[in-house]
Amino acid sequence: MITGKNHIGFQRSASGDNVFSTLNPKLNIENPIKFHEASAEEIDQAVELAWKAFQSYQNYSGERKGEFLNAIADEIEALGTDLIETYSAESGLPEGRAMGERGRTMFQLRSFADLVKRGDWVDAHIDTAQPERTPLPKSDIRKMMIPLGPVVVFGASNFPLAYSTAGGDTAAALAAGCPVIVKSHPMHAGTGELVASAIIKAAEKTGMPEGVFSNLNSSGIEVGVQLVQHPKVKAVGFTGSIRGGRALYDLAAKREEPIPVFAEMGSVNPVVFLPGVLEESGSDLAQTYAGSVTLGVGQFCTNPGLLLGIKDHNLNSFIASLADEIVKIEPGCMLHPNIIGAYEANKSKAIGQEGLQVVAEYDMEVGVNVARQAVTTVDGATFLKNPTLHQEVFGPFTMVVQCNDKEQLEAIILALEGQLTGTLLARKDEAASYPGVIEALKNRVGRIIYNGVPTGVEVCPSMVHGGPYPASTDSRFTAVGINAIKRWVRPFSYQDWPNELLPEALKNENPLGIVRLVNNELTSDSL
């Protein structure tokens, strides 16, 4: 049941005066529940509880943390149709998408549960003593990863489940041993509260300390600002706009004790179509990309917003086919009036730039909050000299840049800001002739895709979801996949520490049976 209250540790609380509602974008009416924004006292209480919980939770075994994470997945599933209906009522996204995203969310939680139960993610290193070494004896030194402390997670508007309350950031932080305080996204506060209640139930059932998780409602920026500035918050995870992510990064950097902020932000996800592949299968690719551009009404951070090709008649045919295909697709409802408002404004701004030509825009009547997809095109020289054209138009919009030649194509890629992904479409054996293009793309992105689409982010150990700024604030980490846990941990050394006082991961007997680097050799043997 949705109450509109905050979860402060194991209590529900609504002491603040500010209330707000979510909106059903399909019907364009407010949903009935009034949500109470967290007050300054509630925020402080949540952080103090998290700090207290950290003192014990940081030392919980992988087994126990794994039980907790699996219990969260179970409790989310147990929310049943309530969750699915609330999700759709707050996002306008269809039931199928809700079910898929719930599945992904549970899979992420269970993946992190497996990771911490297995235990070798702590990256244990052991260098044994050499008391006889000259001129100085060598100490016994052992290293493992330990958690940073309470983590604040800002949910994403476009993933009410998979990158929000119990999404990837929360799952990774809880797995690491960090309590989590979620600043709930105002557009899906009800979905957030339901998921938060599932987390709290799981925490109580598996005996977690109070404060291991809190969920705070917010309608503006104040709650987030207070959280990021709180001295007992030790790291921040964010998914959203460049403006929002950068503001949090700046706040965190100005603290007396600066803290890491991992913000996954905007991206236009450049896609390079080489001439041969357009000749061979331009019309199939047009169909595939019409689907990728409009998937989820273009509301994915991996949406292909920039398509690059070299001028010839095959590129012309591809643009014509893409235009034909994209208007065949039924337009969809966006998440919120603010989001479609920004889409229309950014689209108009782009279209208003000199030299940009609209080749297709859905022009039939549409319902409220429904976005008209569009394909535009521009020549390489115009694109190069106008940085406004490099900016993301969040929604079902793409721009085809027609380059004069390979060199201009390369120059354009080099001129782009950092991106989450880059994609290369090439006929068999064609890619080898474009080493400069591939190198340029590699230096601007976190993931490079061959003959596919950038949409669809697999949850697996090899995934990198992040990239040079502004794709993310720290390209040295990924937001998706088990390595996302590394954002919330630090290495810690024990020197000459008695075996009986060492954590299990570093004891001579290797009671966890994990793989460790012992005197430079990987082994799961005991010492």
Residue from 181, 285, 449, 485 binding its own copies (CB under 8 A): 449
Residue from 19, 27, 141, 329 binding its own copies (CB under 8 A): 141
The stretches of 416-466 forming alpha helices (DSSP H) are 435-442
Stretch that binds its own copies, among 2-10, 120-128, 281-289, 300-308 (CB under 8 A): 120-128
CB contact at 8 A, 235 and 148: yes
Size of the site for its own copies (CB under 8 A): 70
Instruction: Output the CA–CA distances (angstroms, integers) from residue 85 to 81, 97, 168, 217, in the order listed.
Output: 6, 12, 22, 20
Of the candidates 264, 325, 392, 410, the residue annotated as catalytic is 264
d(CA 308, CA 315): 9
CB contact at 8 A, 454 and 301: no
CB contact at 8 A, 70 and 113: yes
Of the candidates 301, 325, 333, 417, the residue annotated as catalytic is 301
CB contact at 8 A, 524 and 513: yes
User: Which residues, 6 or more positions from 332, have their beta carbon under 8 angstroms from its beta carbon?
Assistant: 92, 294, 296, 297, 370, 371, 396
Site for its own copies in 484-503 (CB under 8 A): 486-487, 489-498, 500-501
Per the annotation, the verdict on 256 as an active-site residue is no
| Least distance to its own copies, CB of residue 179, Å | 14
| Least distance to its own copies, CB of residue 297, Å | 19
**472: DSSP letter:** B
Report the alpha-carbon angle 248-470-393, nearest 5: 100
Stretch that binds its own copies, among 167-175, 282-290, 343-351, 436-444 (CB under 8 A): 436-444
| Least distance to its own copies, CB of residue 447, Å | 4
d(CA 442, CA 416): 12
d(CA 5, CA 403): 54
* Nearer of residues 223 and 438 to its own copies, judged by Cβ: 438
Q: Tell me the per-residue interface mask from 291 to 330 with its own copies, x by CB under 8 A, - otherwise.
A: ----------------------------------------
Residue from 274, 375, 463, 512 binding its own copies (CB under 8 A): 463
The stretches of 329-372 forming alpha helices (DSSP H) are 337-351
Per the annotation, the verdict on 460 as an active-site residue is no
Positions touching its own copies (CB under 8 A) are 55, 125-127, 136, 138-139, 141-143, 146, 148-149, 249-250, 253, 257-258, 260, 417-418, 431-432, 438-439, 442-443, 446-452, 456, 458, 460-464, 466, 468-470, 473-478, 483, 486-487, 489-498, 500-501, 515, 517, 520, 522
